Amino acid sequence: MKVSVSWLKDLVEFNNDIDGLAEKLSMTGFEVESLEDLSDQAKNVVVGFVDEIAPHPNAEKLKVCSVNVGLPKNLSIVCGAPNVKAGYHVLVAKVGAYLSSKSLKIKLSNLRGVESEGMICSLDELGIESSNEGIEILEENEANIPPIGSNAVDYLGLNDTIIELAITANRPDGMSIAGIAREISIITNSKLILPTLNFNNDFETFQPQIKDKETIGSDCIYSLTYIDNITNTGKINKSIFNKLKSIRQNCINPIVDITNFLMLEQGQPLHAFDADLLDKIVGRKVLPNDFGIRNGKAGELFIALDKKEYKLNENIKLITCGNIPIAIAGVIGGNNSSVSAKTTRVWLEAAVFTPTSVRNSSRAIGLRTDASSRYEKGISSNMTTAVAKRASQLISLELGGNIKSTYINNEFIRKDINVELRIEKINKVLGKLSCTNNNKSDKSSKTNRHLNKDEIEPLMRKLGCQLTNTSSGWNVQIPPYRSSDLTREIDLIEEIARLIGYDNFDSNMPYPLEPGVLTPANLVERNLRNSFIHNGFQEVVTSSLVGPDNTDGNAVLIKNPLLSETSRLRTNVWDEHLKILQRNVSFGAEGCWIFEIAKTYKKDKESFFETNLLAGSLTGNKRFSKWGSASKQISLDYFEARGKLKQSLEVLGIETIDKQLNDKEFLHPGRTSQLFVEGKSIGFFGQIHPSLSEEFDLIKETYLFNLELDPLIKAATRKTNWTRVYKDYPTVPYMERDIALIHSRKYSSLEIINLIKKSGRPLLEKVELIDRYEGSTIPEDSVSQAFRIKYRDPKKTLVEEDINPIHEKIRTTLKEKINADLRS
């Protein structure tokens, strides 16, 4: 929001310390983003008078002008403008002037053999938009010509400073000059001089054809004012013209300029429809009830004021006349009813549309306007008719218009907002004022104290509130211009704190101060992250918002997405992980191992489900150097990759069991396992499907893992796992025996290990797979595996006679249960 200081000074009295004012505005919630001194655009530019003009001796299109700028000697300036004439006042940039809009410094120059001592300027060259071609002739635009040699800043209306403010969504009143003036009046304790608004209910009701109730809510308004006998030729008066120009607002024609002026001054967008053009659209004289609001139709076309054609859809809200679109509600008017210099009659629209409807329409056509930005933040409907009356009065006063009638939709009822404000609640929320900020002359005031009524009441009145005393505090009537953001008691308390200054209140820290501690679940998650990083993984964070190509049919859709690419919540994370691998490999990385603790979201009928995941992916190998390895990149095989995941999960102190998995379409059917913890499936690990590796241009040996985090944490923090149990270190040695066998592929190593453990009791301590072989020397449907078994008796050293019966029992069991061919 850009605000003109000179415009503000017409509404509120304050001193010229702009930097101090900017600091105060920032401290009370209106952050000042920049300050721009407009006079910089016309430094060393003065009013001159062209005494004589002579043709240029070496160029037909150039003229040599003798220009009086108030110096003892006239300046000789070469000018090529077609409208330069002797006997007229012009704007002259002297040598040394810098035209910031053109990044041009004026120097003494030689143009085709003739020395030029400056430049006769057009408004465009001074950074001021103008429809005039050629240089600025002062006699054409100003009755009172400034003295020759005087600074052109005042003539150009550039004796001003522009304050650019960042307006937050909870302060829609800040989107108006009047709103900022009120704020300045409060924080500087200065006099406010706002134009008087008429809030009388002197209007007729009508029934517009509102087919879409979402656009006009219960607290919204739609009003029309019919004005005729308007003279819309020429320019608006210079005061309004300069105010609009100072904040870079284009001046189009007097009617439009007045509507723009009121939008900037009061924050209420207005739109004027040419009544004669509407009559042509409908085929007869338009009546108020001919206006309406409806949704657009798919494929319907609309040509707006910017002369662009927009393709409409059902999400776009339209203002219609005779059911024919004449505007997109709250965004932009239509070219078919636009006001021009020929306009003599208008229907002046003043309305409040719901923020959601305007935001949807604006996003659908890809256009955000000054009007839509105000509607999106929310506008008080209590101000609408008063601003419309002021606009009508200005049209009548400046353009001779005759105000015929004002109409308002019959559903609208003006509502006064009253809020109960309790002194006890104020003190409870804000606490005490710091003693360092109390009256220093009062030596007895050495302790912190609460606010009293005499301090609160003036602040409320400065906000424009009307107070009625009650036993607990006040009944506060909210002014119309703040009725959209001051609706609760806590809103008023926040205003009190903001105006007094948050730093003036005493800090109230908890006592005693106790350091925070991590819960077991927090510790597990932290340890898990560190373990993955120590094992060579890098943590990534991906967006939860994805497009339609990255989800399935159970996706949760975003109601008002900014873009189609972020229109729903993700149902998986592996898709984005593969893209990360692809980008890293394409940039030359030999390997990329990543992990993420993330969330996925799904919808089942009317319920929504959020799942915490530990997910990641691996491709390639990561080595510090190539010593002892071939120069060609070496990839991880399935078991090495699975081993990296196992190493990273060991910090949890729980056992994960693998079982073959074949139903994941995006994973290799023979190289995928389902992972179990405490007998429950928690996710999968596997190599991606060859078609997927080709799609993402990755090597075949690329792996994904996707584990539910909550069961992992629950198992790791279970008392039997979380509480460490210490055992005596064994004082007797163990004995090892190996068993090698050939068996059918249908038996997994896990099943065989469980058979060995069951048969090897009570001396068997540990069994592990140490070798696996598949090849032409054994049957095609078989596999060779070797297991190492450790035996130990905690009370004595084992001898062969102790082990042989148990080992033979294991061999017999393997033969009987899985028909194994034992090789050792």
* pLDDT tens-digit series, residues 725-749: 888 888 899 999 999 999 998 888 8
Query: What is the pLDDT averaged over residues 403-430?
Result: 86
Query: What is the pLDDT averaged over residues 679-697?
Result: 93
Check whether 685 has a pLDDT greater than 60.
Answer: yes
Residues 699 and 618: beta-carbon distance below 8 Å: no
| 682-686, 744-748, 751-755: range with highest mean pLDDT | 682-686
Cα separations in angstroms, 777 against 430, 670, 743, 748, 784:
84, 21, 13, 20, 10
Lowest pLDDT segment from 37-46, 571-580, 637-646: 37-46
Give tens-digit pLDDT for 517-564.
899 999 999 999 999 999 999 999 999 999 887 667 788 888 878 787
Query: What is the pLDDT averaged over residues 639-649?
Result: 94
CA 682 to chain centre: 36
Tokens of 609: 């489900």
Q: Residue 440: its pLDDT value, please? A: 40
Residues 216 and 409: beta-carbon distance below 8 Å: yes
Q: Residue 121: its pLDDT value, please? A: 92
∠273-275-278 over CA atoms, to 5°?
Answer: 85
Check whether 384 has a pLDDT greater than 50.
Answer: yes
Q: By C-alpha distance, which of 444, 409, 465, 485 is closest to 207?
A: 409
| 56-60, 359-363, 685-689, 716-720: range with highest mean pLDDT | 685-689
Query: What is the pLDDT averaged over residues 318-341?
Result: 93
Distance CA 309, CA 320 (A): 17
Lowest pLDDT segment from 197-201, 319-323, 458-462: 197-201
Sign of the alpha-carbon dihedral angle for 46, 50, 51, 57: positive
Check whether 131 has a pLDDT greater than 70.
Answer: no
Q: Residue 490: its pLDDT value, please? A: 95
322 vs 156, residue with greater confidence: 322
Global pTM exceeds 0.95? no
Cα separations in angstroms, 220 against 205, 413, 509, 553, 577:
14, 9, 44, 37, 47
Q: Please report how the helices 254-266 and 238-246 are oriented relative to each other, as an axis angle in degrees rounded to 10.
A: 60
Distance CA 106, CA 100 (A): 11
Q: Residue 444: its pLDDT value, please? A: 45
Query: What is the pLDDT averaged over residues 400-419?
Result: 83
Q: List CB contacts of 142: < 8 A, sequence separation 6 or more.
A: 155
Query: How many other C-beta atoms are found inside a 10 Å radius of the C-beta of residue 473?
Result: 19
Q: Residue 125: pLDDT band by 50, 70, 90 thresholds?
A: confident
Output 603-608 pairs: Cβ under 8 A, ≥24 positions apart: 603/554, 603/555, 603/556, 604/554, 608/556
156 vs 805, residue with greater confidence: 805
Phi, psi of 284 (to 5 degrees): -165, 180
Output 454-463 pairs: Cβ under 8 A, ≥24 positions apart: 455/500, 456/423, 456/426, 456/496, 459/186, 459/495, 459/496, 459/499, 459/500, 460/421, 460/492, 460/496, 462/185, 462/186, 462/499, 463/186, 463/495
Query: What is the pLDDT averaged over residues 58-82?
Result: 92
Radius of gyration of the chain from its Cα atoms, rounded to whole angstroms: 40
Q: Residue 443: its pLDDT value, please? A: 41
Check whether 316 has a pLDDT greater than 60.
Answer: yes
**Consecutive H or E run containing 522:** helix 520-534
Q: Residue 446: its pLDDT value, please? A: 58
Q: Residue 646: its pLDDT value, please? A: 94
Residues 735 and 797: beta-carbon distance below 8 Å: no
∠572-578-583 over CA atoms, to 5°?
Answer: 140
Distance CA 203, CA 182 (A): 28
Q: What percent of the chain is modeled with pLDDT above 70?
A: 95
Distance CA 87, CA 138 (A): 11
Query: What is the pLDDT averaged over residues 348-362?
Result: 91
Residue 343: what residue type? T
Q: Residue 633: pLDDT band by 50, 70, 90 thresholds?
A: low
Check whether 96 has a pLDDT greater than 80.
Answer: yes
Q: Residue 770: its pLDDT value, please? A: 92
Judge residue 705's burial from the number of C-beta atoms within 10 Å of its C-beta, 0-12 exposed, 13-18 middle, 19 or more buried: buried
Q: Residue 626: its pLDDT value, please? A: 58
Give tens-digit pLDDT for 433-456.
887 554 443 444 557 889 999 999
Give tens-digit pLDDT for 164-217.
999 888 888 889 999 999 999 998 888 888 888 888 878 888 888 887 777 776
Distance CA 292, CA 284 (A): 17
DSSP for residue 417:
-
249 vs 574, residue with greater confidence: 574
Phi, psi of 337 (to 5 degrees): -135, 25
- Return mean pLDDT, the chain: 89
Q: By C-alpha distance, which of 446, 459, 435 is closest to 507?
A: 435
133 vs 18, residue with greater confidence: 18
Tokens of 628: 């002892």
29 vs 326, residue with greater confidence: 326
Q: Residue 625: its pLDDT value, please? A: 57
Q: Residue 483: its pLDDT value, please? A: 85
Strand partners, 253: none
Query: What is the pLDDT averaged over residues 53-57?
Result: 92
Q: Residue 605: its pLDDT value, please? A: 82
Q: Residue 728: its pLDDT value, please? A: 85
Query: How many other C-beta atoms are found inside a 10 Å radius of the C-beta of residue 133?
Result: 10
Q: Residue 725: its pLDDT value, please? A: 81
Q: HEC string of 531-591?
A: HHHHCCCEECCCCCEECHHHCCCCCCECCCCCCHHHCEECCCCHHHHHHHHHHHHHCCCCE
Lowest pLDDT segment from 92-96, 434-438, 532-536, 703-707: 434-438
Q: Residue 441: its pLDDT value, please? A: 38
Q: By C-alpha distance, which of 356, 409, 359 is closest to 385?
A: 409
Give tens-digit pLDDT for 225-269.
999 999 998 888 888 888 888 888 888 899 999 999 999 999 999
Residue 131: what residue type? S
